[in-house]
Structure 1
Amino acid sequence: MTETVARRRHSPAVYRRRRLVVLLGLAAVIALVVWLVVAPPWRGSAADGPAPVASSTPTGDPVATDLPALESDGSAATPTPGPSDAATAPDAESSATADDAAVTSAAEPCVPGDLLVEAVTDKTEYAAGENPQLSIRLTNNGDACTLNVGTTGQVFTVMSGNDTWWKSTDCQAEPSDMMVLLEEGQVVTSAAPITWDRTRSSVETCGATERQAAPAGGASYHLYVSIGGVNSTNTAQFLLL
């Protein structure tokens, strides 16, 4: 006679433990898949490397955009600040001072032979009552370099023959320096022209209310300019009618 042995049923606690093991294993598999997608180990060397660094200009000098303007007496032109400008003026001045102090030697000073300085007038003939407007055009034909284009280094001279009639430095007040970076091939001009009032200037007549008027009636005059110690290669001729 065959004896049948009944299989003993496991307690509910055993089944609960088995289900818990299965759930934990499934959770581990899901976590592994998520980690492989979010942070794949094969990209670790690239992700840990240094971030790319943006290139910068070779100097701390501001890049030139135009040349500082002069007033008719040869002093630096200063725009009248508005209400909002007045509040920020001290900060702007501090920032400009910091920029000047940040000048580096990465870019060499400009070579005079690489610079083309030109005298420019707005007209070639001026009728009675019209005052000539005088400007400088500066071209850098060499490599990027630094130059002081401030009002300390700008000189406008009006001559008739060998007679010097007017010079911007005769009555210049509070000249200032401005170091800028001139890019290769860059051309800059005066931010605003300087006006010649058609009179003779001298250091003795700066405060005079009347000065000798320049002859007209077709008289010829020449404008000579220099900037940063570099003289113009041309003169701008004009007539006073």
Structure 2
Amino acid sequence: MAEKQVRSTRPSPKVYRRRRLAALIAGLLVIVLLVWAGIAIASSLRPKEAAEKPTQTTAPSDAPAAPESSGPVAEPSNGPAGCLEGDISVSATTVQATHGPSENPVLVMTIKNDGQFECSVNVGTSQQEFTVMSGSDRIFSTSDCLADPSDIDITMKPGGSESARFTWERVRSAPGCKVVNAKPRPGWYGFTAKLGNITSQKNGFELK
């Protein structure tokens, strides 16, 4: 009786390698799925407040606000500003209107601050001038023989005034302090006072 041939069921090396490769791929897929699942779970467990909290870019409500400017900022000053020409007025008067033969006229210059602010003005002799006229004839001026002129700055309040006096000895003068022998005659004369570029109106007085 012939022997029955039994076929071997052991897989071939080629099939064995395929099965190992398939098992390795399946294992890698399982690992990837586990990692993805872990990330998803961690994201779902993260506190909602931390994820949604915006970055703070505005200043706190109790922070001091910057001051608002309503106009030009005043610069520090070392003293009152100089008076403007339109703020200062000058007037000319005499102590009396009529003078006897032995009386010398006292000429008065009054300086007034007509402006709205306190200011400083130079009232020194370098700025003062007392002038006496007879019609168009220039009889006398303190600027003709002025010696050692001085500068004196004073502060004047709004509405404030200052006065300077000069006694005219009834003599004539000429520019450069030239000697004039003629004497003023009795009659009416006009006196004007000047401070810097500001000139008063003429004030009349009489010599007997």
Distance 1:229 1:182 in 2: 18
Aligned partner letter, 2:111: L
Looking at secondary structure, tell me which structure has more strand per residue.
Answer: 2
Check the 8 A contact 1:107/1:144 in 2, yes or no. yes
Alignment-derived partner of residue 196 in structure 1: 168
Partner of 1:159: 133
Residue 144 to residue 205, structure 1, CA distance change in 2 (3 Å): closer
Cα deviation, residue 180, structure 1: 1.4
Distance 2:86 2:176 in 1: 36
- CA-CA distance at 1:129 after TM superposition: 1.6
Task: Name the amino acid aligned to 1:198.
Answer: R
Partner residue of 1:220 out of 165, 182, 188: 188
**AA partner of residue 237 (structure 1):** G
> Structure 1 205/189 Cα, relative in aligned 2: closer, same or farther at 3 Å?
closer
Residue matched to 2:41 = none
More helix by share: 1
Cα deviation for residue 228 of structure 1 reads 3.1
> RMSD in angstroms over aligned alpha carbons?
1.8
CA deviations on 1:207-227 (whole Å, 9 max, x unpaired) are x4x7211011xx110100111
1:154-178 deviation digits (Å, cap 9, x = unpaired):
0000001111100001001000001
Question: 164, 168, 171: which one pairs with 2:145?
Answer: 171
Q: SS of 1:214's equivalent?
A: coil
CA-CA distance at 1:185 after TM superposition = 1.1
Q: How do 1:60-209 and structure 2 match up within 5 A?
A: 104=78, 106-142=79-115, 143-190=117-164, 193-203=165-175, 205-206=177-178, 208=179
Q: Distance in 2 between matches of 1:141 and 1:204?
A: 35
Q: Which runs of 5+ in 1 are unaligned?
A: 1-57, 60-103
Name which one, 1 or 2, has greater alpha-carbon Rg. 2
Percent of aligned pairs with the same residue?
33
**Match status 1:238 vs 2:205:** yes
**Counterpart Cα distance in 1 of 2:181 and 2:169:** 10
AA aligned opposite 2:169: D
Secondary structure, in 3 states, of the residue corresponding to 2:86? helix
Shift of 1:204: 5.2
Q: Which has the higher contact order (CA 8 A, sep 6+)?
A: 1
| Aligned residue number for residue 58 of structure 2 | none
* Maintained 8 Å contact 1:124/1:239: yes
SS of equivalent to 1:184: coil
Other structure's SS at 1:172 match: coil
**Which amino acid in structure 1 is aligned with residue 94 of structure 2?**
T
